[in-house]
Structure 1
Amino acid sequence: MSAQKPQPSYLTTPVLLLMAIACGLCAGGNYFNQPLLHSISVSLGITETRAALTVTVAQVSYALGLLFIVPLGDKFERRQLAVGLMVLAAIGQFISGLAINSSMLFAGVGMAGLFSVAAQVLVPMAAILSAPSRSGRAVGMVMSGLLTGILLARSVAGLLSGIGGWSTVYLVSGVIMLVIAAVLWRKLPSSRSPQNHSYLSILASLFTLLREQPRLRTRALMGGLGFASVSALFSTMALLLAGPAHGLNDVAIGLVGLVGVMGALMASMGGRLADRGLGDTVTAVSVVLLLLSWGLLWLGHDNLWWFIAGMLVIDLALQGIHINNQTTIFALLPQARSRLNAVYMTSYFIGGASGSTLGTVAWTYGGWGGTCLLGAILAVMTGMATWADRKVKSEIQRQNPTSAVVTE
């Protein structure tokens, strides 16, 4: 009598929630400094312009981590890599919180930003270690944590600053990250790619993947354009809300921004729908919502409730696009998920940075109407990229009618 083949062990919901919390802490840590710039400049005796450079340092460090560290998830044991990166990011948070001058602060913020890409190791890991029929749900749940962390970071940083000074949030975050890292080490199963690539070959393969996977190109373009549209809002909303039309203070503006948390929490639902084969439908509806949101935001120029409605819709739209993009690319080459994610997320954040810059220019020359027009144009371009992705998918199915079709 032959021994039965052992059944694969998949991640449980509590472990996925733990991974979601870890992702939120890692990603959110890069946004702590944004509401604290004035306090940092006063405390360290530097100009606000120099303090604002910490925002750039965090973003550049994160981008470097996406390109040069995240692909290592396809080489090293993933649990060790993710936990190790979290520990290093926590050390960066401690350095930031204990900084006595701007150089020490830059070093801490840069270190935290570089190694906070542990979140982008955990996201594909959730897909790898989940049942194939539930991978979309797993990615959506973990991404909900990541996005919620980003959205809550500014408000939490401001609150803790009021309690114990600007450095408090960095020290508290560092402690919590170490605790979560220790629990993840105990709870996560071992996971390693069956292929052993050299580091240089892994980096070179990023360009190979981009060249050989047309749906990676179209989905990366969709993600970048969609995030650019939303970033045009994030870079200018404070200017509108603090202006004469609304006259809100920093605390009130932060509370308005929390509306986006509801959109982030919907990411899990988008993943569940993708598992049911409705990814194409969710993506199309999300693109329509992205365009619609800019109409609501335009009405929000003089009416706060219209603005809040637009904020909610635009976050729902972004998460619908983003989660289905990741579910789709992870299914292209399961053995290269970390590298696929690195390519996609690099495009995603390039789009975000471009949208922020263009949003500021549109505000300068066209006011809120100019910003809304830019956002709508980027939404239309996202729709065009979605149409191109549909054509690519149809062409792949036509050329390989007997192959398995990926249903995002």
Structure 2
Amino acid sequence: MAAAAGLAVANLYYHQPLLGDIGQTFQASDRALGFIPTFSQVGYALGLLLVVPLGDSLERRRVIVIMTVLVSLALMGVALAPNLPWMVVASGLVGVTTVVPQLIVPFAAHLAPETQRGRVVGTVMSGLLIGILLSRTASGFLGVQFGWRAMFWLAAGLMLVLAVVLRLTLPSLSPSATLPYPALLRSLGGLVREEPLLRLHSVLGALTFGCFSAFWATLALYLQSMPQRYGAQVAGLFGVVGVAGAIAAPLVGRYTDTRGDRRINALGIGILFASFGVLWLLGQWLWGIALGVILLDLGAQANHISNQTRVYSLRPEARNRLNTVYMVTYFAGGATGAWLGSLAWSHWGWSGVCAVGGALSLTGLLVLGLARPKRPAA
């Protein structure tokens, strides 16, 4: 499940180190290129909203396999893009169909014993984050060697193979709810109203993923603007650096199994805030960017796993819908962060990007500090 989540989520991020090359192909401005990561995240949020709830009312393995085939078709559309508008729309469709990881994570949480749920979620999430980070490394390398379109053709083929593997290996489970689709969607509003912890952790996830996306949506453009004119391959190598944060995921999961407080959230968001200070002060050197990337990925991962573990513990029969609310908010924050990062880059350069990331993480700390702790039941 960890490997499948990593391979599937990578589809959302292959374009990031290649934005400079894509811009040269279509003769597009930096601001116009910002629509590619933004539409990818918006599409993903729509897929989470409209598709992931089906994991509670339909057989999960079937939904996962169907969506894996559909994302392969969307990736072919990206590879064939003749112009930037086509590329933007196809990237949005990739986002809509790349919901397999968010079907797999609650599936794993459902299979895990309650006392090990955090560890299991952390393990699957480590695979997911490694997929996010190494996707940039792979696309940067292949983009330099074979052109940016080759990466999307390869990704489409990988998804077809993955569909077969998942069909043969995942267990078949009966649905946990029998609601019709309209009622299933309407129940999302009830979960938001009735679960204050869901609201809190959704907001924290949105703010921190906004930081993450603001950085990665603009890194390739920043590196290309430096005197050395670093290309897609160098941008992709920073994904390898960020794997250090993914390695800590199971450790964070174990901590959340034994402690139910918010200290891990505060620590993770604080590390995120510090990462943008490092990127602002030391961003003119590659080693400074690398240090910032390690802190960025570690903080984002710690906060995300703590959020998900607490959200999945609320209502076992509605884990896919809880995940829908959390992840829709999460990726809406990512889309906003990517847009704000691109906007800040076009107006104020690297300092503007760091200011956006710092402001979003500081807002997360303020939200966490103002939230009232949930009192234990009498």
Q: What is the TM-score with the length of structure 2 in the denominator?
A: 0.88
Match of 1:24 in 2: 6
Residue identity matched to 2:74: G
Residue identity matched to 2:137: S
Q: For the residues of structure 2 that align with 1:384 and 1:51, how far apart are their CA atoms?
A: 32
Q: For the residues of structure 1 that align with 2:283 and 2:133, how far apart are their CA atoms?
A: 22
Aligned partner (choices 294, 299, 307) of residue 276 of structure 2 = 294
Aligned partner (choices 235, 240, 245) of residue 263 of structure 1 = 245
Aligned partner (choices 21, 28, 32) of residue 48 of structure 1 = 28
- Structure 1 stretch 329-338 or stretch 345-354: which is displaced more? 345-354
Q: For the residues of structure 1 that align with 2:17 and 2:40, how far apart are their CA atoms?
A: 14
CA distance 1:243–1:32, shift in 2 (3 Å): closer
Q: Is the 8 A contact 1:126 1:139 kept in 2?
A: yes
Residue identity matched to 1:376: G
Q: Is the 8 A contact 2:144 2:233 kept in 1?
A: no
> SS where residue 148 of structure 2 aligns?
coil
Report deviation, 1:22.
1.6
CA distance 1:107–1:288, shift in 2 (3 Å): closer
Report deviation, 1:231.
2.7
Q: Is the 8 A contact 1:240 1:301 kept in 2?
A: no
Match of 1:275 in 2: 257
Structure 1 residue 153 corresponds to structure 2 residue 131 = no
Report deviation, 1:107.
6.9
- Structure 1 stretch 163-172 or stretch 350-359: which is displaced more? 163-172
Match of 1:248 in 2: 230
Mapping of 1:183-332 within 5 angstroms?
Answer: 183-244=165-226, 248-277=230-259, 280-332=262-314
CA distance 1:90–1:236, shift in 2 (3 Å): closer
Report deviation, 1:233.
2.5
Cα deviation per residue 1:59-98 (whole Å; 9 max; x = unaligned)? Answer: 333222111001111110111111221122223334444x
Match of 2:374 in 1: 393
Structure 1 residue 133 corresponds to structure 2 residue 115 = yes
- Which structure ranks higher in relative contact order (CA pairs < 8 Å, sequence separation ≥ 6)? 2
Q: For the residues of structure 2 that align with 1:336 and 1:135, how far apart are their CA atoms?
A: 15
Report deviation, 1:226.
1.3
Residue identity matched to 1:48: A
> SS where residue 230 of structure 2 aligns?
coil
Match of 2:61 in 1: 79
Match of 2:362 in 1: 380
Report deviation, 1:162.
4.1
CA distance 1:194–1:170, shift in 2 (3 Å): same
> SS where residue 53 of structure 2 aligns?
helix
Report deviation, 1:136.
1.1
Cα deviation per residue 1:20-43 (whole Å; 9 max; x = unaligned)? Answer: 222122221122234445656777
Identity %: 38
Alignment gaps of 5+ in structure 1: 1-18, 402-408
Q: For the residues of structure 2 that align with 1:96 and 1:298, how far apart are their CA atoms?
A: 33
Q: What is the TM-score with the length of structure 1 in the denominator?
A: 0.82
Report deviation, 1:311.
1.6
Q: For the residues of structure 1 that align with 2:272 and 2:35, how far apart are their CA atoms?
A: 31
Residue identity matched to 1:90: S
Q: For the residues of structure 2 that align with 1:41 and 1:333, how far apart are their CA atoms?
A: 45
Report deviation, 1:343.
0.9
CA distance 1:253–1:284, shift in 2 (3 Å): same
Q: For the residues of structure 2 that align with 1:251 and 1:92, how far apart are their CA atoms?
A: 24
Q: Is the 8 A contact 1:222 1:386 kept in 2?
A: yes
The structure whose Rg is larger is 1
Q: Is the 8 A contact 2:37 2:335 kept in 1?
A: no
Q: Is the 8 A contact 2:16 2:217 kept in 1?
A: no
Cα deviation per residue 1:295-332 (whole Å; 9 max; x = unaligned)? Answer: 22232144443332222112101100001100110111
CA distance 1:285–1:78, shift in 2 (3 Å): same
Q: Is the 8 A contact 2:16 2:220 kept in 1?
A: no
Q: Is the 8 A contact 2:38 2:339 kept in 1?
A: no
Q: Is the 8 A contact 2:273 2:362 kept in 1?
A: yes
Q: For the residues of structure 1 that align with 2:286 and 2:214, how far apart are their CA atoms?
A: 18
- Structure 1 stretch 335-344 or stretch 79-88: which is displaced more? 79-88
- Structure 1 stretch 191-200 or stretch 115-124: which is displaced more? 191-200
CA RMSD of aligned residues (A): 2.8
Q: For the residues of structure 2 that align with 1:239 and 1:85, how far apart are their CA atoms?
A: 32
Kindly tell me the number of residue pairs found equivalent between the two proteins: 375
> SS where residue 167 of structure 1 aligns?
helix
